[in-house]
Amino acid sequence: MTDTKTHYRTCNICEAMCGLEIQHRDGDILSIKGDREDPFSQGHICPKAVALQDFYQDPDRLKTPLRKTADGWQDISWQEALEEIATRFRGLQAAHGQDAVGVYLGNPNAHNFGNAIMLPGFFKALGTNNRYSSASADQLPHHVAANYMLGAGMLIPIPDIDHTDFMLIIGANPIVSNGSLMTAPGVGKRLKAIQQRGGKVVVVDPRRTETAKKADQHLFIRPETDALLMLALAHTLFDEQRVTLGHLEPRIAGLAELAEAVKLYTPEAVAPACGIDAATIRTLARDMASARSAVCYSRMGASTQSFGGLCQWLNNVLNILTGNFDRRGGAMFPQPAFDLVRNKKGKPSSYGRYQSRVRKLPYFNNEFPVATLADEILTPGEGQIRAMITIAGNPVLSSPDGARLDQAFASLEFMVAVDIYLNETTRHADIILPATTGLEVPHFDVFFNAFAVRNTAKYSEPLFEKAPEQKHDWEILRDLALQLTGRDDDGTTPERMLDAGLRHGAYGKDGMSLDHLKAHPHGVDLGPLQPCLEQRLQTEDGMIQIAPQLFLDDLDRLDGLLQQASDQDYPFSLISRRLPRSHNTWTQNSHRLVKGRNPCTVQMSQGDAERLGLSDGQTAEVRSATGSIRLPVEITGDMFDGVISIPQGWGHNRSDTGMTVAATQPGVSINDVTDAGRVDALTGNAAFNGLRVAVRAA
């Protein structure tokens, strides 16, 4: 037996970037704790980090390439797998055009710098425009707003939670999600600190969330009416002459157009639709305007809905109008050590360069919306997708109307999955290429440092050597690209690219490099966020566009909400929720995380349950125009009347998957009822929230 050793790394499950301290001996994990010396997370972790050992040791995890045969799954060599994939993809592309092969990227790609760095080369080799990702089931509206207002889709304003005096949280539940497009490990403490310094936290959500319970004020809102609320807040700021632009005043273009556009949206006009009275809306605007510093932070609830683009634009508008943009305590811009925004000036965005073939949805950031992926596979004609590769994604459970995508994948001529499990999506593959994960992978956060509430940088070595037969995701992507092009390896590695990016980045002259980070395993602190937008702005004319025509034109669509009639057939509005002990669809194979009572319940108010004659724990059927699911009722004081909430990420009890623990879980997939036809027409993002459903005893 050897000595106990300690390993420091960043947890890469969610966006919070928590530092971990892991005790291990002879390949066994003895403990996983928060790293108190991590300058950013300072010891914070959540229960999911402890499960990293489960994913590492999971006997269900795939280790060698698999081929589907009539007699079941068969191990094959990497070389055989790569050759077959290249031959099939190239054959289909020769016969039907380059776009005959589709790609879907899932969430873990964003948590793996090897993927982030090697994917562009892979895409070039594959040469298809049929690209999709979970971004269009998530944060696409943030990118579209950043692109049109600031000139770069990645220039997303981040709430300066550690210095603000007033935080308005719309449609986010960071106490459970640990923050999103706001990397802030230990959000709970940070929110509490706002209150301790005399500030205020207000949450706007159709559910009294775990975050709302810690806030000073919670306002129930009807799903999808947030843009109306924000327009009324902006209206009030103009109406009461509370607009103060601060240091950015000379940089702001379009103020008069904005003032004109918000004129109609008085608090009285929007109050009935939102379910928030006019006086409360006025007070909220005044509170935000008069706070020493303030920030509006809108996330999933205001992104994955029919008006996601408008919401994310208006979120930025409110921060600008109150003088809180690019200002301490307001919405700020990180300066990451590895910068994805640099030198984008004048580069045209790909928004609208193409429209999707079947539904004419907009292209953005070189992708089409995932809500139309099934259409593109199932609708015959030129440009139809005939083969797919999914990389670290499980869209059968994660995308709207997942059941139809399930059928679509089954109909493909050929499919490949790069994944760690045989799951609801990858079971459709002809070949599965297994990747390393978690503790076997080196880590640097290329994305989430760009969205973090403090500038820090950290590189983590792998804790465990991968087995000789295993490949990292980036090696799989590299090898596929080489096989597809017939080229020789030029020796590019993610570490080399990372090192170059660090050396040429904002801290390069101060000695930032990969070696520097390797010498500091707890991470290095680069200080609080600083006003820097004037240097980082990428618009051609150097101005902040506060009222891009694209958004003004979209306001017409909103006006329908003002006189929405009640729906007799589908009287309820459905929203999703996240759970503290699961991450999307893939962590449910950890015993540790799934033990205990079934968390996949439909939450509803006491009044709604009484009207439906449902009691707590009874099985209900939730039905939409798309499909129906059955799950237990949970009666709670936390739901707005007329709104029900179901967790996302479940539905593992199907046949022929290889996640043996997950398969025993009773949870059902919310996306068997969601509607792929519902998107934010402006951005193409999936509109999960506010789906009309009926509920009855099963």
Ligand X SMILES: Nc1nc2c(c(=O)[nH]1)N[C@H]1C(S)=C(S)[C@@H](COP(=O)(O)OP(=O)(O)OC[C@H]3O[C@@H](n4cnc5c(=O)[nH]c(N)nc54)[C@H](O)[C@@H]3O)O[C@H]1N2
Min dist CB 514 to ligand SF4, Å, is 22
Partner touching 45 among ligand SF4, ligand X, Mo ion, none, CB below 5 to 8 Å by kind: ligand SF4
> What is the rounded CA–CA span in Å between residue 24 and residue 37?
18
Tell me the residue type at 385.
I
Q: Which residue is nearest to Mo ion (CB)?
A: 138
How far is residue 119's CA from residue 112's CA, in Å, rounded to a whole number? 11
Near ligand X by CB under 6 A, which window of 147-155, 236-244, 629-637, 682-690?
682-690
Binding segment (CB under 6 A) for ligand X, from list 158-166, 493-501, 577-585, 612-620: 577-585
Site for ligand SF4 in 162-181 (CB under 6 A): 178
Interface with ligand X (CB under 6 A), residue from 398, 455, 683, 685: 398
Residue 214 vs residues 34, 150, 292: alpha-carbon distances, Å: 23, 33, 21
Q: How far is the CB of 144 from Mo ion (least distance, A)?
A: 16
Contacting residue, 101, 546, 670, 687, with ligand X by CB under 6 A: 670
Say which DSSP state 273 is in. H
Q: Please answer whether residues 384 and 373 qualify as being in contact, where contact means their C-beta atoms are separated by less than 8 angstroms.
A: no
Of 75-83, 350-358, 360-368, 688-696, which part binds ligand X (CB under 6 A)?
Answer: 688-696
Element (H, E) at 403: helix 402-410
According to DSSP, residue 471 is labeled: B
Q: Does 137 bind ligand X (CB under 6 A)?
A: yes
* CB-nearer residue toward Mo ion: 138 or 165: 138
How many Cβ atoms from other residues are within 10 Å of residue 77's Cβ? 11
Q: Which is nearer to ligand X, 456 or 582 (CB)?
A: 582
User: 48 or 623: whose CB is closer to ligand SF4?
Assistant: 48
Total chain residues near ligand SF4 (CB under 6 A):
12
Q: What is the CA angle 146-149-154, rounded to 5?
A: 20
Q: What is the DSSP annotation of 259-272? A: HHHHTT--HHHHHH
- Beta-strand ranges (E) seen in 392-477 are 414-419, 431-434, 454-457
Binders of Mo ion among 130-149, rule CB under 5 A?
Answer: 138
Q: In what order do the strands lie in the sheet with 5-10?
A: 5-10, 19-25, 28-34
Q: What residues numbered 4-23 form the site for ligand SF4, per CB under 6 A?
A: 11, 13-14, 16-18
- Asked if 675 and 692 count as a contact pair (C-beta separation under 8 A), the reply is no
Least Cα distance to 174 among 211, 139, 126 occurs for 211
Contacting ligand SF4 within 46-85 (CB under 6 A): 46, 48-49
Q: Which does 585 bind (CB under 5 to 8 A by kind): Mo ion, ligand X, ligand SF4, none?
A: ligand X
For residues 507 and 530, give the distance between their C-alpha atoms in angstroms, rounded to a whole number.
14
Q: Contacts with ligand X in 2-31 (CB under 6 A)?
A: 14
**Which residues, including other chains, have CB under 8 Å from residue 628's CB and lie 6 or more apart?**
621, 622, 672, 673
531 CB-contact burial (10 Å; exposed 0-12 / middle 13-18 / buried 19+): middle
Contact 218, 240 (CB under 8 A): no
Residue 107 or 319 with smaller CB distance to Mo ion = 107
Least spacing, CB of residue 48 vs ligand SF4, in Å? 4
| DSSP letter for each residue of 483-517 | HHH-PPP----HHHHHHHHHHHSTTGGGT-SHHHH
Residue nearest to ligand X (CB): 301
**Among 376, 419, 499, 672, contact with ligand X (rule: CB under 6 A):** 419
98/407 with CB nearer ligand X: 407
Number of helical (H) and strand (E) elements in the chain, helices listed first: 23, 26
Among 448, 586, 640, 650, binds ligand X (CB under 6 A): 586
Q: Provide the phi-psi class of 424: left if phi over 0, else alpha when psi is between -120 and 50, else beta.
A: alpha
Binding mask 83-122 for Mo ion (x = CB under 5 A): ----------------------------------------
* The one among 585, 603, 624, 657 contacting ligand X by CB under 6 A: 585
649 binds ligand X (CB under 6 A): yes
Contact flags string 182-201 toward ligand SF4, x per CB under 6 A: ---x----------------
Return the one option of ligand SF4, Mo ion, ligand X, none that residue 437 interacts with (CB less than 5 to 8 A, by type): ligand X
Name which position in 76, 176, 243, 264 contacts ligand X (CB under 6 A).
176
Binding positions for ligand SF4, rule: CB under 6 A: 11, 13-14, 16-18, 45-46, 48-49, 178, 185
**Binding footprint of Mo ion on the chain (CB under 5 A):** 138
